A and B are shown apart, each in its own frame.
Chain A
């Protein structure tokens, strides 16, 4: 079972290490971790996807809350949150298949952000399933490189996390 946690932390030196270290020390399994500054420059937001049962989720949340620089931990249930991931995918291409690739990109509402003679680089955002689906369709052309951000998420509606 995957859980998405929104973790607000002090924007200070070493906080990411503390959080990542906590996960490795306690044997919790991180699926993804994305971090960036928030609207308040003294606060960073970490979106952490962790795998485990309810007991693991409870311990992860409590152990995170013990860190002095962690301000708030919120469990983002899938129904109440909006979540996105960004992937950049560099695909082999030539004149014969470029049109087909563009068609796939259009269907997924992705974008081509770089074109070279033998490759295109595609930017796609969405949930993990969407990225997996476009990846499956592009694989036959030959994926040269790929980079993913990990999931970022916010609660749906006006409530803050």
Chain B
């Protein structure tokens, strides 16, 4: 910038700041207090995607962030618009996704008066944001936006919310965008402590039965290549958490699949019998660890994480290394060499042979696992986004992900209704990819109104809907632990999804026979337009294997064999 700073309104400054942050897509929904901003957006060179519900805006922004690695951005009006973002913000917080959420707010002079469409959104979101702001003076807006993008995308990523009273958007300021951020209390550690790295290398050298346990942090820090080099160099098997899926190529011989409640038997057995567990960018979630006291009982634990608060939060760690996963793996590589793991890998190979993921296919009913396998064969490079439930676990188990950011799912919060809008964000971020929303009939109905969004904007997403007429995962638990008393989990015949697709102007295809599965998938890919594939699947198929909540992770139920 040369000469005097340009004089402009807060609304104009908002748009300028988004330009400076290279924001390409903004997911939003207008409202009264946002009118000055929407008026500026009318002429702005920004792709604003109008959703049909603010929850979809935040999920879409998150899907965009996960698919691209960039910061996702969403915008909602005050009061109900803002509170509709809450679930999505919490979702981003739990899975450490970089997100900046903007909300409109009533004018400063009316704050606290219970004015029309007023909600204390900074108060509401304090526990579910990495940080949040109520802008009190328009001249602070550029600095705050700069800080928000910095905070969201650095250290352990997370959501940041900026609440903008209406007068902040109408007041005039001299626009200056800061070059750098100065936050004296915020200095993330990126480089691992060299002594701890040497200690880790020494523990690795002594290990006979190591297991690498990689989480979403590997994807967040773009450390997949380093993880592959590291695992291959020390010859250690790798298991990835739900949000870590894609962080290690699934077709690699060292890959063990996912651990935990619906993990593979061999991943769980390997963790339990390991003498060294190397956690990389993974928190020890209860869905992974099962009974904490019995988790990896004989293993020393190395924990690499950018967030010091994750170290020894749930599991006592022997060698903590705080820093960025990519940096630390790079630093660790020269200090390690091939471990003597032949015997260990042979043992794991026997577990893999004896306890593979499996299901019994049938010719007269469509098995959900079969659909995932067919999507994988038809489109191995697709981005798979999921809702939450049984279909989510099958998508995690049966698709062979080869690269990061191709599996997008709600991990920590388990948000039904997440997948479809997240798929919209993923498709806008990666238009070169075929994007599937793998969905249950229950989850899909939580945000199915977004069909209007994808049709209006011609966004070709394939919704692979596993229609079993149940809220499937809850039904599974009722079957196993509540004597098949299916209390309020039956939703059959509630909607004709083909007609729903057609009502919105999309393509609807019902699939009732296994032999029609593959042709329908291919037809949907070829159509290159919004499609609902309504797969009528085996109604009471269970996700297997399963570790009951609170059990040790090697106490596994093999449901198919006991049915």
Contacts and interface: CB of A to CB of B under 8 A. Distances in A.
B123 interface: yes
A83 interface: no
A68 B184 CA distance: 9
Interface stretch (B65-73, B207-215, B306-314): B306-314
A10 interface: yes
A13 to B, nearest CB: 7
A144 to B, nearest CB: 34
A62 B312 CA distance: 11
Contacts of A25: 127
B18 to A, nearest CB: 21
B326 interface: no
A21 B183 contact: no
A62 to B, nearest CB: 4
A106 interface: no
A99 B480 CA distance: 76
Nearest to B185: A71
A113 interface: no
B185 A70 contact: yes
B365 interface: no
A138 B308 CA distance: 48
B185 A67 contact: yes
Contacts of A69: 185
B312 A58 contact: yes
Interface residues of A, number: 22
A14 interface: yes
A59 B307 CA distance: 12
Contacts of B309: 59, 62-63, 65-66
B185 A13 contact: no
B307 A66 contact: yes
Contacts of B184: 10, 71
B313 A65 contact: no
B185 A21 contact: no
Nearest to B308: A62
Nearest to A25: B127
B185 A10 contact: yes
B136 A65 contact: no
A159 interface: no
**Chain B CB within 10 Å, residue with most, of A67, A68, A70:** A68
A117 interface: no
A68 B126 contact: no
A8 to B, nearest CB: 8
A55 interface: yes
Contacts of A66: 307, 309
Given A14-B122, A14-B134, A65 B127 contact: no
Contacts of A70: 185
B131 interface: yes
Interface string B195-225: 0000000000000000000000000000000
Contact of B134 (A13, A67, A71): A13
A18 interface: yes
Given A17-B123, A17-B126, A68 B185 contact: yes
B303 to A, nearest CB: 13
A65 B184 CA distance: 12
Interface in B114-164: 122-123, 126-127, 130-131, 134, 136, 151
B186 interface: yes
Given A59-B309, A59-B313, A63-B309, A68 B183 contact: yes
Interface in A59-95: 59, 62-63, 65-72
Nearest to A26: B127
B307 A18 contact: no
A75 to B, nearest CB: 15
Interface in B398-428: none
Interface string B285-320: 000000000000000000000011101110000000
Nearest to A8: B185
Contacts of A55: 312
Nearest to A18: B126
A55 B313 CA distance: 8
Contacts of B308: 62, 65
A18 to B, nearest CB: 6
B127 A21 contact: yes
Contacts of A62: 308-309, 311
A72 B134 CA distance: 23
A98 B285 CA distance: 63
Contacts of A71: 184-185
Interface in A13-27: 13-14, 17-18, 21-22, 25
Contact of A68 (B127, B151, B307, B311): B151
Interface in A33-59: 55, 58-59
Contacts of B313: 59
Given A13-B134, A14-B134, A68-B183, A21 B312 contact: no
Nearest to A55: B312
A21 B125 CA distance: 11
Nearest to B126: A21
Contacts of B130: 68
A46 B185 CA distance: 15
B4 to A, nearest CB: 29
A2 B151 CA distance: 33
Nearest to A58: B312
A85 B122 CA distance: 33
B372 to A, nearest CB: 37
Contact of A13 (B136, B151, B183, B312): B136
Nearest to A67: B185
Contacts of B131: 67-68
Interface string B102-123: 0000000000000000000011
Nearest to B130: A68
Contacts of B307: 66
3 tightest A-B CB contacts, nearest first: A62-B309, A71-B185, A68-B131
Given A63-B309, A65-B308, A68-B131, 15 more contacts: A9-B185, A13-B136, A14-B122, A18-B126, A22-B127, A55-B312, A59-B309, A59-B313, A62-B308, A62-B311, A65-B309, A66-B307, A67-B131, A68-B183, A69-B185
9 contacts: A9-B185, A13-B136, A14-B122, A14-B134, A18-B126, A55-B312, A62-B309, A66-B309, A71-B185
